[in-house]
Structure 1
Amino acid sequence: MHTIWKGSISFGLVNIPIKLHAATENNDIKLRQLHKECHSPISYQKVCPICDKEVKTEEIVKAYEYTKNKFVVLDDEELEKLKKENEDKAVQIIDFVKLEEIDPIYFERSYFMAPDANGGKAYALLRKALKESGKIGVAKIIIRSKEQLAVVRVYKDSLLMETIHFPDEVRNVGDVPNIPDEDTVVKKELDTALLLVDQLTTVFDPDKYTDEYRTALMELIEEKKSGNATVATQEKQPISPSNTTDLMAALQASLDKTKKKKPAPRKRAAAKMKA
């Protein structure tokens, strides 16, 4: 399993060297865009609209747009320094809370935590403490140059870290338009709805839920492959030396032909010019 972050996390005076591994993956089927005429993949270039030219990676800088078309430019050295200054502060469990106190809207992404070298004992200690207390740890950590709020909890036999949104990243529900008044619900309708909920209530089994669209799309792709309904990208043919020679010969012949058609100067006009 690929390591995406390596460092340590601590609670109190206990320091645990760890590695993070992505706990989930996106299994969406990725479709490429091709030119309909020749089936070549479409490429995208970074182009400056003012200079009207392609911009190389080393020519790009980061900036914050504080108002329309007004920017504060930040160079890589400044950002790297800021990152280093905050890295040491971002790996400590600062609170222990109950999981049910955190609304699911805050949860973002899950990571398996594995102990690094000599971290097994401290890892097992934190896992046991969380199990016995029924609590989860709230921590801050920097991942990919971004400070993240996170929770650490037990998942089966491992520790799992889940990044969560900061409060200012969760939008105000009061801004959602057209939310109906709860008082409009009729009791008879509510009783029927509760009966339906009761009939559909079961124990959560994640294995019973599948991505039906992805399955159908993959079946369609396999069907087209089996029926040989495929296309291939055409390679761009370079101009061969023979083609170049032929082109030069054609250009030279055109010049020679033009010279032959050019009218000679009239003798009478030439004589008048000598006089």
Structure 2
Amino acid sequence: MRAIWSGEISFGLVNVPVKLYGATRSHDLSFHQVHDEDHGRIRYERHCEVCGREVDYDHIDKAYDDGDKTVVLTDEELDALPAEDNDEIDVVQFVPDEQIDPILLGTSYFLEPVGRSSKAYVLLRRTLADTERTAVVTFTLRTKTRLGVLRIHGDLLALQTLRWPTDLREVDFAPSRTRISTKELTMASALVDQFSGDFEPEQFTDEYQEQLRELVDAKLEQGESVDTDETFGTERAAGDPGGDGKVVSLMDALERSLEKRRGSSGGSTSKKTSSSKKSSRSA
């Protein structure tokens, strides 16, 4: 496993060095789109709606639209925000476990102790278990300030993000007032008893994904497939009347990008943020 963040859990004067790992992964098959006639890949390009040109990541800024006006934020302005350099998981409160509404819970992460001694890590884990408390924390991940909770997962500490209270929608509906008889409650309770048991997540499977995998495997075995390299296509010849001069091949796109970069390296550049950094911000 590869750590995606490192820092410290801080509560009072106690600091616990940790590394952060994603605790979950998707088991869904990943798809891309292709043309139904020739199976060529369909790609999406970044076009400016004013000039109509395709825009590189180096020339894309973030903007906020309030309905009437749009505010443009540069990389320099975003980089100046203080949250970006915060490397602490700051414990702000210990609350009873049952007070955390599950609807607020988000992404889960595992925390690994760092250093020669994991005593502080174990102490925090044992304290949470003995007191039946959950630690409410704030931390910064991928330049965003987040709310979260520290919980126990076996011998480990797990960090789960929490949605901010303002993220919950207000609803304008409620169940109608209906009279429930004692007999109906008794029968419903009996039905619950019949379905009661200990939760064992391993006994549940995603039937759709299993059948989807079987379908894909069957098509591969029967030869109902195309060569992957052919789905990327090649650049149309300049004299082809159907050609639009756009690069389809991934290698061609990389080579063109490098050539363009070398050609413009001598000129003045106002934006130096790499495309990878842009990509990470858009995630």
Gaps of 5+ in 1: 245-275
The residue that corresponds to 2:75 in the other structure is: 76
Measured in 2, the distance between the counterparts of 1:5 and 1:86 equals 12
Report if aligned partners of 2:83, 2:144 keep a CA contact under 8 Å in 1.
Answer: no
The reply to whether residue 39 of structure 1 matches residue 39 of structure 2 is: yes
Measured in 1, the distance between the counterparts of 2:158 and 2:117 equals 15
The residue that corresponds to 1:50 in the other structure is: 50
Q: How does 1:115-126 map to 2 (within 5 A)?
A: 115-118=113-116, 120-126=118-124
Measured in 2, the distance between the counterparts of 1:7 and 1:80 equals 19
Deviations, residues 121-141 of structure 1 (Å, cap 9, x unaligned): 221221122122221211100
Distance 1:86 1:170, change over 3 A: farther
The residue that corresponds to 1:24 in the other structure is: 24
The residue that corresponds to 2:222 in the other structure is: 227
Q: 1:127 aligns with which of 118, 121, 125?
A: 125
Report if aligned partners of 1:62, 1:75 keep a CA contact under 8 Å in 2.
Answer: yes
The residue that corresponds to 2:178 in the other structure is: 183
Report if aligned partners of 1:62, 1:74 keep a CA contact under 8 Å in 2.
Answer: yes
Q: CA deviation at 1:186?
A: 4.9
The residue that corresponds to 1:263 in the other structure is: none
Q: CA deviation at 1:160?
A: 0.6
Distance 1:71 1:238, change over 3 A: closer
Question: What TM-score, normalized to structure 1?
Answer: 0.79
The size of the alignment, in residue pairs, is 237
SS across alignment from 1:10: strand
Bigger Rg over Cα = 1
Q: CA deviation at 1:120?
A: 1.7
Measured in 2, the distance between the counterparts of 1:190 and 1:27 equals 39
The reply to whether residue 2 of structure 1 matches residue 2 of structure 2 is: yes
Distance 1:176 1:23, change over 3 A: farther
Question: For residue 82 of structure 1, what is the amino acid of its counterpart?
Answer: L
The reply to whether residue 110 of structure 1 matches residue 108 of structure 2 is: yes
Question: What TM-score, normalized to structure 2?
Answer: 0.77
Deviations, residues 98-154 of structure 1 (Å, cap 9, x unaligned): 111111001001100001234622212211221222212111001111111111121
Report if aligned partners of 1:18, 1:119 keep a CA contact under 8 Å in 2.
Answer: no
The residue that corresponds to 2:207 in the other structure is: 212
Identical columns (%): 38
| Higher share of residues assigned helix | 1
SS across alignment from 2:135: strand
Gaps of 5+ in 2: 241-283
Measured in 2, the distance between the counterparts of 1:134 and 1:119 equals 25
